Structure 1
Amino acid sequence: MSYINNNVLKLGSLALASMFVIGLSGCAPEVGSEQWCKQMSEKDKGDWTANEAADYAKHCVF
């Protein structure tokens, strides 16, 4: 019986963690949107990745 409860607990924890990750990804603005450009302009330029810098130049500058 303990074995079943342990598996149910693991499965429930995995499901909860998955929903949390999916929820966080839904909060990020779409790359190139006005909100994303504003968020990037407020972010320290030293923390930008190469892809973020390229996307910013493509969508927000030109």
Structure 2
Amino acid sequence: MGDRFAGITWWCDRCGSQLNEQRGFDDYKYIWKCTECGYKNSISSDNIYESHEDYHSRQDKNNN
């Protein structure tokens, strides 16, 4: 089975660890609990950003 989101690198929203490299990571799961900090990250197309700037821009809009 291939990746649901091929070519996407997933990062923990709390600690910044790369989720793709964590043992057992599967992007077919809609929630992934980071093995570094325990934060439950949403794995969905809504959380794919073009860049760090895009991520921060959307976060700023959501917080206003």
Indicate the TM-score class for this superposition, using the shorter chain for normalisation. under 0.3
TM-score, normalization by structure 1? 0.25
Q: Larger RCO: Structure 1 or Structure 2 (Cα < 8 Å, ≥ 6 residues apart)?
A: 1
**Bigger proportion of residues as helix:** 1
Which structure: larger Rg?
Answer: 1
TM-score, normalization by structure 2? 0.24
